[in-house]
Structure 1
Amino acid sequence: MTTLKYLKPAGTANFKDSGITKVNEIFVNWDGEKSVDGLGLVGLPLSKSSISHSGGSFSPATIRKCFSSFTTYSIEDDQDLADYHITDFGDVEMHVTNITDSQTRIEETLTQLFTEHPNLTPIILGGDHSITAPSFKALTKSRNGRVGIIQFDAHHDLRNLQDGGPSNGTPFRNLIDSGVLQGENLFQIGIRSFSNGKTYTSFARESGVTIYSMDDIREKGILPIVKSCLEKLKSKVDYIYISLDMDVMDQAFAPGCPAIGPDGMDTPMIKQAIQYISRQPEVIGLDIVEIDPTLDYRDMTSRLAAYLLLTFISGYKER
C-alpha cells in the first residue's frame, strides 16, 4: 500500500517541534493493574450539586486538553519534566440524576483506589467543591494517621446541609459535622468580604477554623501565611490535603468560575503558595475545583489550573 506522506491521525498537533515535549505527553493512562507510586490524576466530573449554574463537569476534560498548551521545561528551575511520567486513572462515572449517589461513587472508588495504591499522591480534578468531602473521607479511610486541610477559597463552604443537602457550599461543614475533620485542622486562605454570611464565619471561629482573609494576605504576604499554616498543621496532624477552589482568584484571572468576584488573589500570589506547598512531604493530595469551561474565555481559567498543577508537579518532583 502506498504511504501517504502528509496524512496524520486526527486530533494530533498541527505542528511538532522535535525539541519540545508538551505536558500532555507525560500523562500515561492506567493499565488497570500496575501499582502507582507517586502522583496520579483522577477526574470527578460532578457539578449538579452546585448552588449556582455550573458546567464544572466539563472541567477535567478541559484541564487535560490545556496541558497540551504547555511545555515540560521550566526555565526558572532549569528543570525538564519530559521523562517524568504520571498515571491518569481517568474519571469516576457519575449518576445521571442522583447527586448523593454520585458522591457515594466518588468515596467508594477513591477509597479503593487509595487503599490499593498506598503510596499514591492524588491530583483530583473537579467538578464543583462538593467533591472534596467524599474525596477527603476516602483519603482518611486509606491512610493511617490524622489529616488536615489547607483550603484556598473565597468562601467558607460551611453552609448547613439542612437547607439544600450536600452541595458545593457544604463540603467542610460536612466533614466537621461528620467528625471526619476537626475544625482546628482546617486552615482557610483567601476568604473575601461580601462573599459569606456572618453565621458561617461565626461557626468557623467557634469550631476552631483558622481564617485568613484577602486583607490578611495583603498585610502579611502569602508565603508567611502558608508557612504558618503548614507549621501549625504539622504539629497536629500526620498528613495535609490541599483544596484549591479557583474562585479564590480575582475575576480578572479566573473568569471561568461560577462565583467570580473582585478583590481576589493574582497569579504570582497563588503560584508562590502552590510552589512552596508542593515541596512539603506531608502534603499527600490536592484537588482543584469550581471551573466552568462553558463560561470561560479562551480557557483562561482552565489554563491557569493546568499551570498551577504543573507548578505542583514540578515542586513534588524535587522532594
Structure 2
Amino acid sequence: MKKLRHLKPAGEAVFKDSYTTKARELLEAYSPGMQREIAVVGVPLSKASISHSGASFAPTTIREALQSYTTYSGEEGMEIADRIIDFGDIYMNPTDVTQNQERITEGLTDVFATETAGNWMILGGDHSISYSSIKAFAEKKTVGVIQFDAHHDLRNTEDGGPTNGTPFRRLLEDSIIRGENLTQIGIRDFTNSGAYDEYAKEQSVTVYTMADVDRLSLNQILEIEIQRLAKVVDVIYLSVDMDVLDQAFAPGCPAIGPGGMDSKTLLKGILFASHYEKVQAMDIVEIDPTIDFRNMTSRIAAYVMLQFIKGKRMDDGGGTQKGL
C-alpha cells in the first residue's frame, strides 16, 4: 500500500516553529509526587450566576488562549521554562448548585493539601466559586483577599441564595475572612446599591472605586494594601473578576459596563502584586465564552496568568517586596 504523505493526527496539523514554545505547552497534567512552583485548577460552575452565563466553559477557553502567547518575556529577557501543574477541572453536578459549591470546597481542599505547589491559579466559573475556593484556601491559614471587581458581591442570600453576587458576604458572615482583611479595587459607579456600600463600611472592608484607581494608580493602591495585609495575614489571595475591565476590553463578561479599567492597567497590577511572597493564590472569574468576541476576554485572562507566573519567576524583580 502506498504511504500516505503529509498527514498528522486530527488537530495536530498545525505550524510549529522549532525556536518557539507556546505558553499552553507549560501545562502538565498532575500526578502524585509532583512538585512545582505553580499549579492550576479549573472550576467550571456558572449555574449560580444571577444573569445568563456560560462561564462554565471558561476554564477550557482560557487554557486554549495560552496558545496565543509564547513563553519568552522580551521585557525581562527571560524564558519561562518550568512546567505548570494542571489538576484539571472539578466535576460539576448538572443541577445542584449548592452541592457543587460544597464539592468545590472539598475538591480544592484536597488539591491544596497535596502541597504540590507554592502558588495557585483557579480558573472559574462565575464569582460564586470564590467562596468555596477561599474557604478551602483558608482552612489552615489566615487569608487576606484583594478583589478586582466592578461589584461589591456583598448581596444578601435571602433574595436568591448563594449566587455569584454573594461570595464575599458569605465569607464574612461565615467568619472565613475578616472585613478588614478584604480589599475591593475597581468598584464602579452606578453598579452597586447604597445598602451594600454601607454594609462594606460596617464590616470594615477597604473599598477603592475606579475614581480612586484613576487618582492614585493601581500599583500604588496595591503597594499600600499588600503591605497592610501582610502584617496581619498569613497569605494573600487575588480574586480577579474580569468585569473590573471596561466593556471595550472584556466583551465576554456577563455584566459588562463602561468606566472600568483598561487591560494594561490590570496586567501591570497583577505583575506588581505577584512579586510579593505572601500573594500565593489567584482566581479568574466571570468570563462567558459564548458571548465573547474573538476570545478577547479569555486572551486577557491567559495574559493575567502569564503575568502572575512571570512575577513569581523573576529572580529579584520585586526587590524587597518579595519578602512580604
Match of 2:130 among 118, 129, 132: 132
Note the alpha carbon deviations across 1:157-207, whole angstroms, 9 max, x for none: 000111111110000000000011100000000000010000000000110
Alignment partner, residue 51 of structure 1:
50
Aligned positions of 1:176-255 closer than 5 A: 176-255=172-251
Question: 2:121, 2:282 within 8 Å by CA — same for their partners in 1?
Answer: yes
SS in 1 for 2:175: coil
Match of 1:89 among 76, 87, 90: 87
Question: 2:36, 2:85 within 8 Å by CA — same for their partners in 1?
Answer: no
Alignment partner, residue 114 of structure 1:
112
SS in 1 for 2:128: helix
Aligned positions of 1:22-37 closer than 5 A: 22-31=22-31, 33-37=32-36
Distance 1:151 1:50 in 2: 18
Note the alpha carbon deviations across 1:1-21, whole angstroms, 9 max, x for none: 865441112112521111110
* Amino acid of the structure 1 residue aligned with 2:104: I
Alignment partner, residue 101 of structure 1:
99
Question: 2:39, 2:116 within 8 Å by CA — same for their partners in 1?
Answer: no
Alignment partner, residue 321 of structure 2:
none
Alignment partner, residue 302 of structure 1:
298
Distance 2:113 2:83 in 1: 21
Deviation at 1:317, TM superposition (A): 1.1
* Amino acid of the structure 1 residue aligned with 2:260: G
Question: 1:41, 1:89 within 8 Å by CA — same for their partners in 2?
Answer: yes
SS in 2 for 1:200: helix
Distance 1:17 1:119 in 2: 30
Distance 1:240 1:140 in 2: 10
Deviation at 1:147, TM superposition (A): 0.8
Gaps of 5+ in 1: none
Alignment partner, residue 21 of structure 2:
21
Note the alpha carbon deviations across 1:203-227, whole angstroms, 9 max, x for none: 0011000000000011111111110
* Deviation larger for 46-55 or 112-121: 112-121
Q: TM-score, normalised by structure 1?
A: 0.96
Distance 1:112 1:72 in 2: 29
Distance 2:46 2:108 in 1: 18
Question: 1:35, 1:116 within 8 Å by CA — same for their partners in 2?
Answer: no
Question: 1:187, 1:229 within 8 Å by CA — same for their partners in 2?
Answer: yes
Aligned positions of 1:38-77 closer than 5 A: 38-77=37-76
Note the alpha carbon deviations across 1:132-179, whole angstroms, 9 max, x for none: 0010010111x3x31100000000000011111111000000000001
* Amino acid of the structure 2 residue aligned with 1:96: P
Question: 2:273, 2:279 within 8 Å by CA — same for their partners in 1?
Answer: yes
* Amino acid of the structure 1 residue aligned with 2:115: H
SS in 2 for 1:18: coil
Residue 151 (str. 1) matches residue 147 (str. 2):
yes
Match of 2:260 among 253, 264, 272: 264
Gaps of 5+ in 2: 316-324
Match of 1:174 among 170, 174, 188: 170
SS in 2 for 1:52: coil
Distance 1:10 1:120 in 2: 36
SS in 2 for 1:160: coil
Distance 1:78 1:69 in 2: 19
Change (3 A) 1:305 1:13: farther
Alignment partner, residue 322 of structure 2:
none
Distance 2:110 2:223 in 1: 32
Percent identity between matched residues is 50
Distance 2:275 2:131 in 1: 24
Deviation at 1:268, TM superposition (A): 1.4
